[in-house]
Structure 1
Amino acid sequence: MFSSLILNQLSRLTLSSASKLSLNTRNISSSAVVQFRITDQLCAEPLKKKKKVDPAIIKAREDRRRKKLEKQIRKLQKNARQLKPIEEIEPPLHLMDQMGKRKRPPVVLSAEETESRALLLKEWTRYKKQEYMANVAQIDRIMAAQRRALDMLYEESEDLYNEAIMPDLQLVPCSFTSTFSTPPIKNYESPDGEYIDVSKKWGTK
């Protein structure tokens, strides 16, 4: 009897101590097979402490940045009126040296020549105007004749009129082929977006 009471007390003590141990320990199993478990690696680190920077240093940095931008703006404004030279249309230097010899003096026209040229220009203007008015009148005559023919065809047969005003479907899918400006190069492998910029820079130093 006494021994059974002692055993009961001991079992209660072991259970209470085991429960306390399980509460105090973390990730340690209390089952029959004792296994240790670890938590996931979080790779965290404490926050870096912000450094206090002197306001004068910040102001000096802003002033340097502003001065740099102002210098670049002045540089761009200075070179804004300079045109980029085109090497293809620039004359050779030996022709520039001979400019004085090659330059012709301006032609001085007499009053009679000036008057004859003005009259010739007026006559040419009248001729071009008459040509334009003749073309417009011819187009009007053609359109009026076409309209009269369609009206007469409508009086004869409405079916023929509908067929006459229908568009010609053989003219719609029209395609033109012509020669290319440069023939294709056989077995040419186009570059994959990479190129070397060899253009000259003007107005920058």
Structure 2
Amino acid sequence: MMTGLGLLSAALSRVPVLSSSVSFNLTSVRNISIPTNILLLRSTACLYAEPLKKKKRLDPQILKQREERKKKRLEKQIRKLEKSARQFKPIEEVEIPLKLIDERQLRSRNLPSLSPEEEEKRALLFKEWAKYKRDQKLADIQMIDRVVFSQQKALDELRNVSESLYQEAIKIDSRLIPFEVTGPVRTPPIRGYNASDGDYVDVSRKW
């Protein structure tokens, strides 16, 4: 007695083949596809049909409320991003510790009010200081003008005497570049004072 596979192979042997390169599938036998070569028998995955789910009809007012909530949420996120974009990166050395902010009332001093005579005295002193600094600035400007005028006058006289010497005089002296100057400090140095480098932790990578 022949099995089902034997009957199927016998039936397929009677089917004429057009070309060895052309393959076709038989799907009439429970999801089984068979090419021209009977030895390459393989089964396909089972496909189970399912009825389509019936879509629920929602109230247009509910859909509109959902869209409004979504729109408000996006606008809130955009405002938050715009607000944070204007903030600079915090600098720990410049920020005031929260402890000092909490102790602001304890650290504040109630200074006595100044008398009218003291206020008048300080105002006059401030005016005198402003006048002194103004005169000092004018004196510096006048001195610079005199130096520049004298220099230009000397160059003009030198040019009248010799053109070659004038060209040499206006050349840039390469020995003066780079030019370094150490200006005066606010307080005079302390003799014999050894400035310390301070405490630090070396976190350099050890090779």
TM category, shorter: 0.3 to 0.5
Higher relative contact order (CA 8 A, sep 6+): 1
TM-score relative to the length of structure 2: 0.46
Greater per-residue helix proportion: 1
